[in-house]
A and B are shown apart, each in its own frame.
Chain A
Amino acid sequence: MKLSSAQELDRLRSELAGSNGRSEIVISADATCCILRGAKGVAEAFRTELQKAGLADKMHLRLAGCLGFCEIEPMVILKDQDILYQRVEPKDVPEIISETLLGNRVIERLLYQDPATGQRQARREAVPFYGKQNRLILGANERIEPVRIEDYIAIGGYAALSKALAMKPEAIIEQIKASGLRGRGGGGFPTGKKWETCRNAESEDGVRYIICNADEGDPGAYMDRSVLEANPHAVLEGMIIGSWAIGSRDGYVYVRNEYPLAVEHLALALRQAEEYGLLGENILGSGHDFRIKVVRGAGAFVCGESTALMQSLEGKVGRPRAKYVHTVERGLYDRPSNLNNVETWANVPLIIDKGAAWFASIGTTGSKGTKIFSLVGKINNTGLVEVPMGIPLREIIFDIGGGIPEGKKFKAVQTGGPSGGCIPENLLDIPVDYDELTKAGSMMGSGGMIVMDEDTCMVDVARYFLNFLKGESCGKCVACREGVRRMLQILERITRGEGRSEDLDTLQELGEYLLDTALCALGSTAANPVLTTLRYFRHEYEAHITERYCSAGVCKPLFQYVIDPATCTGCQVCKKRCPVGAITGEKKAPHLIDPQMCTKCGACFEACRFDAIARARIKEKVA
């Protein structure tokens, strides 16, 4: 059915909203991580069991996308009872139906348990992970099925579009500018200003392009994948509004090839939007035409950079160019091109719908609205969190994230991916804000937030990022191609235990050169992981160089495994697990590791149930 006016869309919405009076069961089942954890099986079990219990007509089973709390998925939310069950398995389903749905009793063991206090919570709001969040974008995920445009329309989707189409393009740009929205991809450029420049830029044939950057390359960040998987229409709606404001008829979504489900949902959403006349020619009878194409990336990190991305869209090798002329003036095929990140686009309908003033009321002076972070690494509550700007990092990590697992000590949090930096504990009270994070030497980035504990070696982290960037550097400019490689060589030397005293100064110097001379953002920020770790964790570098010791037990030549004879029970588990036969010892007698043979694979350390194996300093060799 093609909608030809805003009124028809409203009519459809009220029909859709009215038809659904059944009580709801929401399962986080249509997202990559949930599928990994067997959510499809749970959904299937619900379907058959509800049928068996004769509840199939009374209950509405919703296979939603990501609900954010990856740690406890698959989760099931019973809407009427307001109960959240975590880590549900198919075998639990009959019990949920008979006990909770029919018997109105709560199943204690499936409730969320606070890892610190051991308390169980039934209501979702009571779970601390959700308590402090402000889920403006992610909140819609549980109310819709990503594969059903009808769900999105029913909860008010595309209302912002019909509102925008009734507005003057300039008025929309004014709204976006007034909202204070800044680019969520990491750079933080004011979105409204970008749109305005693109609209006013000269184009010989009037062609302008709208691009959605879904090439989420930062390792450890997956909010864009999640938004595209769970709520693709929000992104599309934002893009269509943008196309009207900027005066564009052609749009592209450049999405990572590693995200097959996101591509699938996006393609489906495009088809549905076209069928409803929300995309294509004469959108909602307004006379505005707009089409979107989905283009898959091919695994090059640098293609997240705007000029490289546009090269790649043209089918070329993704190498960035210097931006004397901005892409909003001359971008894709030399036409004005407006590129925004997935999350930025998803914010647009909210601003149009609820007004710029409402949006600007959330956040800090310089950073408005909310930001989605993927809270990962050594953290109890791994997941996607959406928080208002200005919230201190400490609250995200310790209140929402639930702190560090196994009682270990917090060491650092890494934000901004390979372009960002590591923030130590004493700076955890700085608020989440574009400018504050930059001041700390890191950056907002696209939203990866990787928590590190005492078992993480900061020198190794710096080495890891440079190694990543060495592989991803396109090789066009010398500063990045040679500078990153040279810094990596020095770091590798340090992690091998061959560091020299002058190395730290050389790293600092090279890093600063890189900052000044590299062509694109990949290169100019490449030194950030090194510079911040040098700034905040210099003692670790020094320990590597002067004491030849890696306290985290990551750099293999700088520590050894030893068995504590007092704790060792002689159970022989480690001896069996050792792949090189370096462990000797009789049954029930303390074992011994031969440091000459040991490859430090860590198999024994992992296998020991008595914590008898420890990492220790390598003693000076006795001649």
Chain B
Amino acid sequence: MAARKAPAKHPPRKPTAKRAAPAKAAATSAKPSAPPTALEGNGKPLGSVLVVGAGIAGIQSSLDLAESGYKVYLVEKNPSIGGVMTMLDKTFPTNDCSMCIVSPKLVEAARHTNIELLSYSEVDKVEGQAGHFRIQVRKKARSVDLAKCTGCGACAAACPVDQRIRVPEPVPVQDDETVRKTDAILDRYPPQRASLIMVLQDANAAFNFLPEASLQRIGERLGLSFAEVYGTASFYKAFSLEPRGEHLVQVCVGTACHVRGAQRILEEFERLLSVKSGMTTEDRKFTLETVNCLGACALGPIVVVDGEYNGSMNLAKVSRLVDSYAKKEAV
């Protein structure tokens, strides 16, 4: 992408490239030497300031500087400004609503004639010294015409690509019982990557889902990162990452069952249990799932409850089946 050069045309004394984002240290250097005494000539401010990081601190600094007459370049690596504060509900210590504080400032920063926003950009290089910096900023490809974009968000909602794998932070989970059981499973297989799927299968069967502590333990023992274990577990349909209900209802939606009306059977289960396929009822009694084909097509439509096959299902049989399993609880 075209490298954008921060202007160095304003000689001779420029204010320091001021670092504003408090948490984001390390990256660029800020020379503490010359203080921003840029009043010169007929008392007008001269030169420009670059602020790195458009969090609340960066925005406030930019606004103050802009108000005192400096041209401000506000660089932010994310596509939008606002930083962490926009994600918070309340702020310490006054318990004030954080959005109420920050949002007027966001608008102001965007509208201020003295502030040029460089969002979705990063500082690549800082050269020179206090008063005369030469800064290279890399603007990332946004592929959106900012002059026309109104920020309505409709494109983000319409985008069909949602392939993000949300990997939770591997916070070590203390669960000795799970680890002990997982170890027992791991002991049965050679400690190598090829064992992963088999181990996950056994763990899934033992716990009726894959608890996080178990996944972490598997990663440790097989020498894999948590992300690799999680990525594999979330790819295959046979694994559940959430606890399942006491009874597992699997409706076969193979083609043979489909043409024999499996869809209506599934809908009836959804209606009776008031959950959608893939969900667990609130009382944790039933989990409703679909399965692609059980290979017993002569008996379609088929429903398997806790491993027990029920063939030639119709709507009347569905309610009887649900009743019989719901009653089992009472006994």
Contacts and interface: CB of A to CB of B under 8 A. Distances in A.
Contacts of A36: 296, 299, 309, 311
A298 B201 contact: yes
Given A315-B232, A317-B232, A298 B255 contact: no
A474 B165 CA distance: 13
A258 B106 CA distance: 55
A126 B115 CA distance: 91
Interface in A19-74: 32-33, 36-37, 70-71, 73
A448 interface: yes
A151 interface: no
A37 B201 contact: no
Interface in A458-490: 461, 464-465, 468, 474-475, 481-482, 485-486, 489
A296 interface: yes
B130 interface: no
Interface stretch (B53-61, B139-147, B175-183, B189-197): B189-197
Contacts of A461: 258-259
Count chain B CB atoms within 10 A of each CB in A257, A417, A452, A485 and give the residue with the most.
A257
Interface stretch (B64-72, B90-98, B241-249, B263-271): B263-271
Contacts of B195: 315
Contacts of A300: 235-237
Contact of B297 (A258, A317, A374, A481): A374
Contact of B254 (A220, A481, A482): A220
Interface stretch (A104-112, A359-367, A385-393, A599-607): A599-607
A219 B254 contact: yes
Nearest to A218: B293
A452 B292 contact: no
B256 interface: yes
A84 interface: no
Interface in B13-42: none
Contacts of B171: none
A316 interface: yes
Interface residues of B, number: 47
B315 A295 contact: no
A601 B236 contact: no
Contact of B255 (A32, A220, A297): A220
B314 interface: yes
Interface residues of A, number: 63
Given A298-B200, A603-B315, A376 B298 contact: yes
Count chain A CB atoms within 10 A of each CB in B194, B291, B292, B316 and give the residue with the most.
B292
A312 B315 contact: no
A606 B315 contact: yes
A600 to B, nearest CB: 9
A72 to B, nearest CB: 9
B163 interface: yes
A314 interface: yes
Contacts of B267: 601
B55 to A, nearest CB: 34
B295 interface: yes
B236 A450 contact: no
B138 interface: no
Interface string B166-208: 0000000000000000000000000011111110110000000
A222 B238 contact: no
A485 B160 contact: yes
Contact of A220 (B198, B232, B256, B299): B256
A258 to B, nearest CB: 6
Interface in A434-462: 448, 450, 452, 456, 461
B155 to A, nearest CB: 15
B255 A464 contact: yes
Given A450-B256, A485-B160, A316 B299 contact: no
B102 to A, nearest CB: 36
Nearest to B236: A298
A317 B292 contact: no
A153 interface: no
B33 to A, nearest CB: 52
A464 B255 CA distance: 8
B264 A37 contact: no
A465 B264 CA distance: 17
B237 A464 contact: no
Contacts of A602: 261, 264, 315
Nearest to B271: A579
Contacts of B297: 70, 220, 222, 374, 376-377, 382
Count chain A CB atoms within 10 A of each CB in B163, B291, B315 and give the residue with the most.
B315
A258 B315 contact: no
Contacts of B201: 257, 296, 298
A220 B264 contact: no
B288 to A, nearest CB: 16
Contacts of B298: 33, 70-71, 73, 376, 382-383
B231 interface: yes
A290 interface: no
A278 to B, nearest CB: 25
Interface in B39-94: none
A315 B196 contact: yes
A216 B272 CA distance: 32
B294 interface: yes
Nearest to A229: B295
A603 B267 CA distance: 12
Nearest to A600: B264
A449 to B, nearest CB: 10
Contacts of B131: none
B319 to A, nearest CB: 9
B264 A486 contact: no
Nearest to B202: A296
A249 interface: no
A299 B237 contact: yes
B40 to A, nearest CB: 56
B239 A298 contact: yes
Contacts of B132: none
B223 to A, nearest CB: 11
B128 to A, nearest CB: 44
B215 interface: no
B251 interface: no
B231 A317 contact: yes
B238 A257 contact: yes
A414 B255 contact: yes
Contacts of A299: 236-238, 292
Contacts of A258: 291-295
Nearest to A455: B259
A408 B294 CA distance: 26
B293 A33 contact: no
A486 B161 CA distance: 11
A226 B201 CA distance: 23
Nearest to A603: B315
A85 interface: no
A88 interface: no
27 contacts: A32-B295, A70-B297, A71-B298, A217-B292, A220-B256, A222-B296, A258-B294, A296-B197, A298-B197, A298-B239, A299-B292, A301-B292, A315-B193, A316-B232, A317-B232, A377-B255, A377-B297, A417-B255, A450-B255, A450-B256, A450-B259, A465-B255, A577-B315, A601-B315, A602-B315, A603-B316, A606-B315
Identify the 9 closest CB pairs spanning chains A and B, nearest first: A222-B295, A70-B298, A219-B254, A298-B236, A299-B237, A376-B297, A299-B238, A315-B196, A220-B255
Interface of B: 160-161, 163, 192-198, 200-201, 231-232, 235-239, 253-261, 264, 267-268, 271, 291-300, 309, 311, 314-316
Given A218-B293, A220-B255, A603-B316, 4 more contacts: A70-B296, A216-B295, A297-B197, A485-B160
